[in-house]
A and B are shown apart, each in its own frame.
Chain A
Amino acid sequence: MRKCEFCSNPATVHLTKIVNKSKQEMHLCDACAKEQDIIPQPPQELNIPALLQLVMGQLPAPRPATADSVCPECGTPYAHFRAQGRLGCPHDYDVFRSLLEPLIERVQNGATRHAGKSPSRHRRRLVRAHRAELEVQLQRAVN
């Protein structure tokens, strides 16, 4: 269960920003999402401009991993992976990305991006995020 990035309550609103090949995620609880005006009261349409401003303004750029890097979610050091050959949790792929990418590319015969099956709820999420961006573009064009 993800925790809200503003407080430590369970997150119920999950934002994904995809620009070119880079993905960044943000997780908020219901209260913080309303406070950030993502979900205005009473329930209306999603405030897409506020949502995009929050995502683009708040998320830090990912830092390159080093041999001393440690995953903040599961506490696995990169050195543990080097010794055991096993990662600690799914978040390790983001934390150790810059170190794992060349390894995975070598193992996968040069493939650098997944092109196969994906979970259906993930595909639906991508479609919704893409539609939200298109709606922002449309709004700008109309204005």
Chain B
Amino acid sequence: MNFNTLSSRLGEWLRGAGPESDSVVSTRIRLARNIAGVPFTTRATPHQKAETEALLREAINGLDLPFPLAYVSVAGLAAIDRQFLVERQLISRELAGVLEGPRGVAFDERESISLMINEEDQLRLQSMRSGFDLDAAWEAIDHIDDLIESKVEYAFSDDFGYLTACPTNVGTGMRASVMLHLPALGLTKQIDKAFKALQKINLVVRGLYGEGSRALGDFFQISNQSHSARARSPHSTTCVA
């Protein structure tokens, strides 16, 4: 993977051409998945992590997609290259730094899809779209999820849904988020009121780089808190509109 080539162009979430992109920078949907019968990443041995990486990498390489995916082994990358992938929202800060052992990411040239291996969950699928476009982001990630599931058996329970390392993610394993640029709300000191209102409808607010990050540049990421699906809308959760 040539990072110089990547750095010379903008990724999908920075394209600025999607719906309502005057205030909505990007839309992202993430799915958390694990393999049946295998320890979660935090308890897996290095050998198990290597096996998981190999299994998922093979599954990803064989996907029938209209665009190629490039795989990067994050464990072998220089710190600056890992930081670059974080800034491009292709990997999380945890995958770049805190986690150890075999791990990697596959992504497309447009940087609209990224598939992280051996993050907190063994597989974290991510779909990004410029502007406010939850439907398109969902269709893309749902399709890839189905393709991978045809090759790998996911850990799943009738009662709990898709099983994840952290029980707060169990269920759909989906986090849908939108990145908003809200400088006026910040300047007029109305931002806290807005966030309290969001919390009442089970939405959480985070900074530019997700959980635990600061709201740099008045960028705010708003996402669903609950991962349960209701019977009337199997794929949807309460999302910001």
Chain A residues with a Cβ under 8 A of chain B: 1-2, 18, 21, 23, 73-74, 76, 84-90, 93-94, 100, 103-104, 107-109, 111, 113-122, 126
In whole angstroms, what is the CA distance A111 to B237 when docked? Answer: 12
| A interface majority secondary structure | loop
B41 to chain A, nearest CB (A): 9
For A113, list chain B residues within 8 Å (CB).
158-159
Listed by A's residue number, 28 A-B pairs whose Cβ atoms lie within 8 Å are A23-B159, A76-B43, A86-B40, A86-B43, A86-B166, A87-B167, A88-B42, A88-B43, A89-B38, A89-B39, A90-B34, A90-B155, A90-B163, A93-B160, A93-B170, A94-B157, A104-B171, A107-B167, A107-B226, A108-B171, A109-B228, A113-B159, A114-B228, A115-B228, A115-B231, A116-B171, A119-B153, A121-B150
Neighbouring A residues of B163 by C-beta, 8 Å: 90, 93
* CA of A45 to CA of B190, assembled, Å: 69
For B31, the closest partner residue in chain A by CB is: A117
- Confirm or deny: B212 has a beta carbon within 8 angstroms of a beta carbon on chain A: no
B226 engages A109 (CB within 8 Å): yes
Is the CB of B64 closer than 8 A to any CB of chain A?
no
Interface string of B68-102 (1 = CB under 8 A from A): 00000000000000000000000000000000000
Q: How far is the CA of A85 from the CA of B159 in the complex (A)?
A: 20
What is the distance, in angstroms, from B232's C-beta to the closest C-beta of chain A?
Answer: 9
Give chain B's interface residues, CB within 8 Å of chain A: 34, 36-40, 42-43, 120, 142, 146, 149-150, 153-161, 163, 165-168, 170-172, 202, 226-231, 234-235
Q: How far is the CA of A119 from the CA of B161 in the complex (A)?
A: 10
Give bound CA distance, A120 to B149, whole Å: 8
- Given A89-B38, A111-B226, A116-B234; A104-B167 close (CB under 8 Å): yes
Taking the closest CB of chain A, its distance from the CB of B157, in whole angstroms, is 6
Contact B167–A114 (Cβ < 8 Å): no
- A74-B39, A89-B43, A114-B229 are known contacts. Are A119 and B159 too (CB-CB below 8 A)? no
In the bound assembly, the distance between CA atoms of A121 and B171 in angstroms comes to 17
Asked if B228 and A117 make an inter-chain contact with CB atoms under 8 angstroms apart, the answer reads no
> Which of A23, A84, A107, A122 counts the most B-chain CB atoms under 10 A from its CB?
A107
Given contacts A74-B43, A90-B37, 20 further A-B contacts (CB under 8 A): A74-B39, A86-B40, A86-B42, A88-B40, A88-B43, A89-B37, A89-B39, A89-B40, A94-B157, A104-B171, A109-B228, A114-B159, A114-B172, A114-B228, A115-B229, A116-B171, A116-B234, A117-B172, A117-B235, A119-B156
Q: Is the CB of B166 within 8 A of A114?
A: no
Instruction: Output the least CB separation between A116 and chain B (Å).
Output: 3
Q: Which of B42, B120, B166, B228 has the most CB of A within 10 A?
A: B228
